[in-house]
Amino acid sequence: MSSPTEKNNPAPSRHRGPVELRRGLAKGSTADQHLLDTRSPGDFTSTDPWRVLRIQAEFVEGFGALANIGPAVSVFGSARTTPGSAFYETGVEVGRRLAEAGFAVITGGGPGSMEAANKGAVDGKGLSVGLGIELPFEQGMNQWVDLGVNFRYFFARKTMFVKYAQGFIVLPGGLGTLDELFEAMVLVQTHKVTSFPIVLIGTEFWGPMVNWIRETLVADGLVSAGDLDIISVVDSAEEAVQKLVAGV
């Protein structure tokens, strides 16, 4: 209940769009004043509402750039593999075989296995796509990306990997690769995406993780045994692309 004094003399209020501010919060300038006052500091670009617009712009630009790429496969894998290493060369073969099978190849646009898959896509005369991410240690898009889109936000970029791909191929990698793999698995597990193939290359590399999921997570009832069917593990680029094509 408001006191008689408050009724007669209500606390000053101010509207900022749908937000109403009272008492101490009502002080300050209007939105127009902020916008038009050239002397006000320019740090509004680091405010959350401004970020929302930037995030929105990332989705709009990503959707616009990728809408017409046709059938595509996202390839994930380590940023650290080097040319000549077995993992890198497998990445090149994956990209080439996907391109020859008619798929655009989408990667994170960075170095290592991403670069390898993009190179393979170019060798195979396919469309080579890179979804780059702005990082504190700037690397730039690898030289084999023909259609590149740069993102500030991992979550906007991750949406593109899923939205424009018919399946995923995952080469050995570190935290970034695991993050992308588990996100994909959860999206299939929770039926957020229509089931699509997720093929891991390297039984020696992925075997211990798969065993841990089976022997600990399934055994403890934390995931169901059927959830393991979401992924297939193979040992070569050829098998990976065959599995993927069979599964799409």
Ligand X SMILES: CC(C)=CCNc1ncnc2c1ncn2[C@@H]1O[C@H](COP(=O)(O)O)[C@@H](O)[C@H]1O
Q: Kindly tell me which residue out of 70, 83, 102, 174 binds ligand X, with binding defined by CB under 6 A.
A: 174
Report if residue 62 touches ligand X, rule: CB under 6 A. no
CB of 89 to ligand X, least distance (A): 17
- The conformation of residue 11, written as its DSSP 8-state character, comes to P
- Residue span binding ligand X (CB under 6 A) among the ranges 40-48, 132-140, 191-199, 216-224: 132-140
Which run of H or of E encompasses 220? none
Report if residue 202 touches ligand X, rule: CB under 6 A. no
Instruction: List the one residue out of 223, 238, 228 whose CA is nearest residue 206.
Output: 228
**Interstrand relation of 13-16 and 19-22 (parallel, antiparallel or unpaired):** antiparallel
Give the contact letters, 99-128, x = binds to ligand X (CB under 6 A), - = no: ---------xxxx--x--------------
Q: Kindly tell me which residue out of 80, 101, 193, 214 binds ligand X, with binding defined by CB under 6 A.
A: 80
SS3 170: strand
- Residue span binding ligand X (CB under 6 A) among the ranges 25-33, 47-55, 169-177, 220-228: 169-177
Q: Ramachandran region of residue 84, left (φ > 0), alpha (ψ -120 to 50) or beta?
A: left
Q: Using an 8 Å Cβ cutoff, are 200 and 234 in contact?
A: yes
Residues at the contact surface with ligand X, assessed by CB under 6 A: 76-80, 108-111, 114, 132-133, 135, 139, 173-177, 180
